[in-house]
Structures are given as structure tokens and as C-alpha cells.
A and B are shown apart, each in its own frame.
Chain A
Amino acid sequence: MIKLEPEILQAVEKPARYTGHELNAVHKDWDEVDCHFALAMADTYEVGMSNLGLKILYEVLNNRQDTACERVYAPWTDMEAIMRERSIPLFSLESFTEIKKFDFLGFTLQYEMIYSNILNMLDLAGIPIWAKDRNDEASFIVGGGPTVYNTEPIADFFDFFILGEGEEVISEVAETFVKWKREGKPGGRKGFLKEVAKLEGIYVPSFYNVKYNEKGYFSSIEPKEPEARAKIYKRVIKDLDSVHFVEKPVMPYIGIVHDRIMLELFRGCTRGCRFCQAGTSYRPIRERSREYLRGLARKLVDSSGYNEMSLTSLSSADYSCLGELVDDLFSDFEGEKVSFSLPSLRIDSFSIDLAHKLQQVRKSGLTFAPEAGTQRLRDVINKGVTEKNLMTAVEAAFKQGWKQVKLYFMMGLPTETDEDIVGIARLAEKVARKYKEVKGKWGVTVTISVSCFVPKPHTPFQWFGQLPKDEFERRQRLLKDSITERAVKFHYHDARVSVLEGAISRGDRRISQVIYQAWKDGAKFDGWTDLFKEDVWHEAFRKCGIDMKEYSERTRDFDEPLPWEHTTPGVSKDFLKREWNKAVAEQLTEDCRRGKCSGCGVCPSLKVDIVDWKRKEGEVKANV
């Protein structure tokens, strides 16, 4: 058991990050269980504690009699320095046990810029960084989460990955482990990996041979063990009412990023925005039932004491029974002072009316995501939103009293011209002038937040070469100079980070050397702008003899094998190619949840169906 002296805790920022003992944390007797699972996020306590996936898996694992699941997050730099100086190993927040004593250390892979922190945590734990260096005593390092649809850049650091939704498969992994352990661990470490590889959705990277062609491009990946599948499909929950959801969240003593109840209405979004990785990787739409959500809401308020609940999903306003659910929640929690919020708003008056009904504090402002500045480019990305939609929505918002609007855009999308960039400024100015028209006076703030587009695997834009950093910066300047209205405020993302993310997210296994080198040379918390060390990363690419631009800026050939195709969310390459061609032709694709099937391939290949309660009601009526 690790005990931190008062002088250490007095010396670090936010010491309660490291002291545990939260309400609803689960404490089990170490010797009473067979499987010890540490769930990790390679980011701060406040970020890690806010992750819904980890909250769910924590309860699923702890609901098993044979398993104890504990938490661990990345220590902040001040704490890390003390831990290294005094040789304090990384420890868990429940039993304060050294992490390397756990059977599993599972990382949620939320975004590419935390990869250096994963290595740092392994090192602090005293676990060998490279999977090949781990002996039979070492913990199994597991990864799961949004970036698993290209795990190659970190494949050599992990023993296995879990693709897709974890509620069922995480339990199968624990079960497989307990059985293997009780049988006396046949075959040692590799013996377990062979067993776990038999489960659907599990990818054991060491069981594959990777080849590159004469140009140095990835050419093939082939299984070398009989248990390894040639293609691994993600796991998907067919009926979200049938699996466990968070009921007793661990309650932090200090403020965290999302310090409220998260009620997940549904998974998936099939609006089909062509840049969006979440849009392809969480297909198809599966809604929870209104009754189930109502029951969960009650349990969560009672067990947490929170007075704020966020109705979360990729596009919450698309929940088919949202109006009814909100009415249910209003009546269930009348007099309990619980407030409800929607994290994302659709650009229409339904969303505005709902936001108004939810009494979101006016001053906080409304956020919309038109994503591109011209209709042409919005058609390219299949955004399906017109300028008229936006004007109607903001007009309704201004009439309801909102004075602040935030608009999200991307820069560097395929086919983008200077006209599209200037279009962002023009659109924002029209929104500002709409306020004057509605209210007869000035007094609005329109904030435009513009990120740099990063092409992602398994999207229709996965072949597209990302813009160079200098070009991003030129377009940022162009946009800045194009804004003439004082009411418009401009924020943009750091292009230095975006191009690195671009290289890593479409990287192959050779990128792991670069990540290792960058970490060795001091890279950590790369997602925190003030800690990002651009030079260290460029130097790491140079030391490894790898041209970063080959990964970020090179447009891939349609016929070229891609290093991420063997780990798939189920969307077919033909669908992605069709969508690319339609993008270039500026043609729209309908949302399949109510409209025509776009043939993405997910439902047949994963044997899963859309769950949309209103569509079902419609079908029932039609059948009668």
C-alpha cells in the first residue's frame, strides 16, 4: 500500500486528485477476488473522472464477484516529479496498491494526444513500455475507446485492444482470465492472449506480421497465430436497455470537468457528416427506452445528490422521444431543483424551444456547429444545414433572449477554397446582424471557433491529405482579416497540434518509435497547449528517420492498403469511396434512421438493427 506523506500532499496542486475515498467507490478485499483490473485514463483526475465509458466499465467489472476494479489517472507534472524523486510507483485510488500488481491495466483511448502520457504512466508504474518486454508476471495492458479504429501507432505498447462497446466484452475478458488463472495459467502470458483473441472484438497486435512495400508504405497485415482473426469487427450492444448503465457514480470531492449526471439517451448518429469519425464508428442508432431512462435518472439523482443532469448523446436532440422524456423528467423531479441540459443543439427551432424549456441559463449562450462557411462546402461534408436553417434558429434564440452565440467551424476540409474561409466570416456577420434586426439594437456576441481538420480512419475523408501547418496558419490569418464586424470574436485551434494529430491518427506501427522517442525526450500532456513541445516531436520524427508529412499530408490512393482496415467499426470501404465521390460532386446522403439505407454495411456485418422508438411505432401502425 502506498502512503503519501503530508509534506508531499501539501506541496502539490489539488492534492485530492491522489487521495481517493470518494463516495460510491468500491473497495474489495484484494485476496478475495481472482481478477484485479485497474481502469486508467492517461489524463488528469478531473478529466478521467468525467469519462462516461470508464464509469460504466467500473460498475460492470465491480458487479462481478470475482473481480475488483480500481481507478488510476495521470499524476500532474508536480506530483510526477515528486514520485520520480522518491521512487513512488503509480498507485490505484481505491486500495492504494501499486499498479503493476494488477492483472490488467486498461486505458481508455480518447484522443491521440494522450499517447505520450500512456507511456509515462507505464513507466511510473514500473511496467515495461514495449509489450514484447513484458514477462509472465507483468500486467496485461489493454486499450479501448474512440481511437481503437487505428491502434497501429500504439500497437507495440499494448497486449490487446477491445474494439467497440465494452459492457459485454469486458466481462468476457475477466471471465477468460479467471478461468485461465484457475487452470494454472496454461501457456503463460501468450497462452492467455491466445484465449482472449478468440473473443469477438479483441485484437492482439503481437499475433500479426506487418509488411511495407519498396516505397515504405504499409502493404499488408497477416495473422501469424491460428487464434487471430484477419479482420476484427467492433463489439456492439444490440439492445441498450439490456446492459448495465451507471447507477452509483463515484462522487469526486473536488470539481471535475463534467461535474453532473450524464444520462446517455442513445448511441450512434447517422446524419452522415463525412468528416466525422464518431458518425461512422458508433453506428447504428440505438436508443434507450423512455421508461429505462426514467428509471436510471431516478437512481442517479438518489445515489449522487447532483442537481444537474446532462442528456448526452452524439446528437441529443435527435432522440425520438425527447419531448416526452423531458416532460417525464420534469414531473418526476418537480420540487427537487434538478436542472437538465443538452450538450449539443441541432440547428432548428425545435432545439431552441427545448433549450428554452430546459431553462438553460441565458448568459451561457448557445452553440451551433455549421462546420463550414458556404453552402457548397456544407454539401461536400454532408452537413445538411442551410443558411436559412441557421438564421431561423438564431432568430428564435434572439427572440427568447439569448445574447451569445458560438459557432463551430472547421478549416482545411477537402475542396476548401479561400471563398469558403471568407464565407465563415460572412456567415458569422449575418448572425450578428440578425440580432440587430430582431432586437433593433446591437449587443450580441458571436464567437466563431475554428478547428483544423484532421482526416480520420474509417471516414470518407480517410484518404485526403491534410493541409500543411503553414497553410492552416495562412487561412487563419485570412479569416481574421475578413472579419469586419466588432460583434464577431474569433478563436482558432493550434495548427501545430493538429498536424501532429494528423500524422499519428493515420499512422502505422512505425509511428510507435516516434511516440517512444518523443516521450523519452520529455513529451507529455500534449493536449495541454502550455505543455505541448512541438520541437520534441519534430526531433523525434527526425531521429526515427520518419517524414511526418508522409503521414499527415500525403493523399492516399484508393487502392492502397491502409494500416487500419483490419480493425473496423463495420463500415465498408465501398461505402466510404461512394461517399468520397459524392462529396466531391457536392451531393447529399440521407440519414438512414428514417430515410433510405445508405448501404454503409454496419447492420448486416454486425447483425444489428437501428433502434428508433418512433420509427418502430410507425412500422407497427403500417403492419396493422
Chain B
Amino acid sequence: MYKYRAQLTKGDEIRYISHLDYAGVMERAIRRAKLPAAYTEGFNPHLKMSFASPLSLGVTSDAEYMDFELTKPLCQPEIFDKLSAALPPGIRLIKLKPVKEPKPCEGKKHKALMAEVEQGIYEVMAPLTGDWDAAVKAVEKYNGATEVNYHRVTPKKTRDIEVKQYMLEPVKIGMSGDLVKLTMNISITQTGSIKPAEILELLHNEYGLPVALGRALINRSKLMGQGKDLIDLV
């Protein structure tokens, strides 16, 4: 088997499709691309593919990662062009690399894509509804706090999460056109993380950030492991 890693986007057109639906869309795209894809065994064969950290509904991304396997080694440009041509609106292929499996003598195999993820960088854009100075102060106050709790309610359970343990850097604030731009560098661990929308909610509700919450748009710009983009880990 020949494994490849793709860096893909999730554009505005499809920001409201789920992670599972995104995987289904990619599976059909690989089939349309007529690549010699490898399948799982059994009654209901599926493409051998895996994804990195799932994205929340409504968030776009420049850093979606997918590993997939082919039964024949094709050259990178051929795969790149065929797959690019088969993608639906809202998904672009940015980079593609073969995953070099280490030789048996070198010991360990590549970790699963999902397990390589350690860090995500997100940009939040939202209309300013109040004073710019107040916005800067709100972010400064949040950055200065030593402990911040987020009360997460899901249909299954409710729990409090300490947020600051996941903040790799202070939240940055700037203006982009007439929108407030927040940059968040968030740690993603095997045991948990915090979502950028949740940080935004805290900033707005608890720290008085004057932005229109309902019109905020979030984009994931990077997904990293060992301080590098995931595409550069193979």
C-alpha cells in the first residue's frame, strides 16, 4: 500500500457540513478522480482514509488533513491534478505528499494522523459593536487571567472546563477591514481541548468583548504537531 497525506480546505460554501459528511464527500471525490484507492475488507468496503482533528459545524479551514492509501504508487503531480479536478466547490487541495513509512529497522511506524495533532491556530472575524479600546481591554483581561472556566453543555452531559490550560499563546486582537480579528493558538490533546467558539463566547459574555457574536466567522488556519504543519511531518 502507498500512503499519501493531503492538506485540504473547507471553504465557506460547505462550512455547515459535519466532519462525517466531509469524509463522505472526500470518499466520493477520490472515486471520481479514478485513483487506484485501497479499500477495507468485508461486506461494506470503505476507502482506507483517515482525518485529523474534526472541525466544528460552521468553521472553515485552510488546514484539513487526510491520509489515504493507493494500491499503486502514482507520481505526486498525477494524484494532485486528478484529485483537484474531482473536488466539489468548497474544497481545494493545497498540498500532497507521500507518507514515507519508516523501514522496519527504524522501529516505530507513523502515528495515526489524529494522534499527531497537538495544536490548532484559528482566526475569528466579527463585527465590532462597541468601542475598540474596550475590545482590546477585554482581550487583555482574558489573557491576564490565570484560570478561566467554561461551562460546556452538550445533549449528553454538562461539565466545567478550565480553559487556560489549552491556551498556547495569548489571544491576539487586530482589525481587518471593519471586522475585529482574533487569533487563537490552542492546544489539542488526546484528553481534550477548547473550541475557538467557546473562547469567543467567554470573551463576549464574561469579559465584555463588544462584537456581534451571531455574525462571527471562524477559520482554522493551521493544524500542527511537534511545532510543524502536519503536512511537513511526513
Contact of A7 with B215 in the complex, beta carbons under 8 Å: yes
Task: Flag whether B169 is at the interface (Cβ < 8 A).
Answer: no
Chain B 9-37 interface 0/1 with A at a Cβ cutoff of 8 Å (1 = within): 00001111110010011011111101000
Contact flags B27-60 to A (C-beta < 8 A → 1, else 0): 1111110100001000111000000000001100
The number of chain B residues touching the other chain, given as a range, is: 20 to 34
Measured between C-beta atoms, what is the minimum distance from A451 to chain B in Å? 30
Q: Are A255 and B215 also in contact (CB < 8 A) when A10-B57, A23-B89 are?
A: no
Q: Using Cβ atoms and an 8 Å threshold, which residues of chain B touch A362?
A: 43
8 Å CB contact of A21 from B27, B34, B86, B90: B90
Tally of contacts, chain A with chain B, CB under 8 A: 72
| Chain B positions near chain A (C-beta within 8 angstroms) | 13-18, 21, 24-25, 27-32, 34, 39, 43-45, 57-58, 86, 88-90, 213-217
Distance of A359 Cα from B18 Cα, bound (Å): 30
Q: How far is the CB of B151 from chain A (nearest CB, A)?
A: 18
B216–A6 contact, CB under 8 A? yes
- Closest Cβ of chain A to B48, distance in Å, is 12
Query: Smallest distance from the beta carbon of B90 to chain A beta carbons, Å?
Result: 6
Q: How far is the CA of A23 from the CA of B17 in the complex (A)?
A: 14
Q: Is the CB of A361 within 8 A of B14?
A: no
Q: Which single member of B28, B34, B58 contacts A304 (CB below 8 Å)?
A: B28
A305 to B44, CA, bound (A): 16
Could you say which residues of chain B place their CB within 8 Å of the CB of A10?
A: 57-58, 214
Question: Per a CB cutoff under 8 Å, which of A5, A19, A251, A361 touches B214?
Answer: A5
A306 within 8 A of B: yes
Q: A21-B90, A251-B88 are in contact. Are A359 and B57 (CB under 8 A)?
A: no
Binding site for B on A (CB under 8 A): 5-7, 9-10, 15-16, 19-23, 251, 253-255, 301-307, 336-337, 359, 361-362
A301 to B, closest residue via Cβ? B31
A6 and B88 within 8 A (CB): no
Name, among A21, A23, A255, A301, the residue most crowded by chain B CB atoms within 10 Å (CB to CB): A23
Q: Is the CB of B13 within 8 A of A19?
A: yes
A338 nearest in chain B by CB position: B31
* Chain B residues, Cβ within 8 Å of A20: 13
CB-CB under 8 A for A337 and B39, given A7-B214, A23-B88? yes
Cβ-defined partner of A305 (8 Å) among B15, B16, B32: B32
Residue ID in chain B nearest A24 by CB atoms:
B88
Not counting A19-B13, A254-B17, A362-B43, a sample of 7 additional A-B residue pairs whose C-beta atoms are within 8 angstroms of each other reads A7-B214, A10-B214, A15-B16, A251-B28, A253-B14, A254-B18, A305-B32
Q: Are A16 and B86 neighbours in the complex by a CB distance under 8 Å?
A: no
* Closest 10 pairs between A and B when the two form their complex, measured CB to CB: A7-B214, A305-B28, A21-B13, A23-B88, A15-B16, A305-B32, A305-B31, A253-B17, A21-B89, A16-B16
Distance (whole angstroms) from the CB of B12 to the closest CB of chain A: 9
**Pairwise interchain contact B214-A15, C-beta atoms closer than 8 A:** no
- Is B214 a contact of A16 with CB atoms below 8 Å? no
- Of all chain B residues, the one with the shortest Cβ separation from A304 is B28
Q: Pick the contact of A253 from B21, B27, B39 — CB < 8 Å? A: B21
**Contact residues in A for B216 (Cβ distance below 8 Å):** 6
Task: Report how far A337 CA is from B71 CA in the complex, Å.
Answer: 14
Contact B89 A16 (CB under 8 A): no
Question: Are B31 and A6 touching (Cβ within 8 A)?
Answer: no
Instruction: Establish whether residues B25 and A253, one from each chain, have CB atoms under 8 Å apart when the complex forms.
Output: yes
Residue of B nearest to A306 (CB): B28
Residues of B within 8 A of A307 (CB): 31
How far does the alpha carbon of A151 sit from the alpha carbon of B13 in the complex, in Å? 39
Contacts A/B (CB < 8 Å), 6 sampled: A16-B17, A21-B90, A306-B28, A307-B31, A337-B39, A337-B45
Is A361 within 8 A of B44, CB to CB?
A: yes
Question: Residue of A at shortest CB range from B56?
Answer: A10
Determine how close the nearest CB of chain B comes to the CB of A76; give it in whole angstroms.
Answer: 14
- Cβ–Cβ contact A302 & B32, under 8 A: yes
Q: Which A residue sits closest to B13, measured CB to CB?
A: A21
A6 CB contacts on chain B under 8 angstroms = 58, 214-217
CA distance A255 to B86 in the complex (A): 19
CA distance A422 to B89 in the complex (A): 56
List residues of chain A with CB within 8 A of the CB of B27.
305
> Which one, A5, A16, A305, contacts B21 given CB within 8 A?
A16
Docked complex Cα distance between A7 and B27 (Å): 30
Evaluate contact between A15 and B88: CB separation under 8 angstroms. Answer: no
Which residues of the partner chain B approach A254 to less than 8 Å between Cβ atoms? 17-18, 21
Q: What residue of chain A has the Cβ atom nearest to residue B58's Cβ?
A: A10
Query: How far is the CB of B116 from the nearest CB of chain A, in Å?
Result: 27
| Bound complex: CA A255 to CA B25 (Å) | 10
Distance from B133 Cβ to chain A, minimum over Cβ atoms (Å): 26
A47 CB to closest chain B CB, in angstroms?
Answer: 17
Rounded to whole Å, the gap between the CB of B218 and the closest CB of chain A is 9
Q: Which residues of B contact A23 (CB under 8 A)?
A: 88-89
Q: Which residues of chain B are near A253, meaning CB under 8 Å?
A: 14, 17, 21, 25, 88
Residue of A nearest to B88 (CB): A23
Cα-based distance from A337 to B42 in the complex (angstroms)? 11
Contacting residue for A22 out of B29, B31, B57, B88, CB 8 A: B88
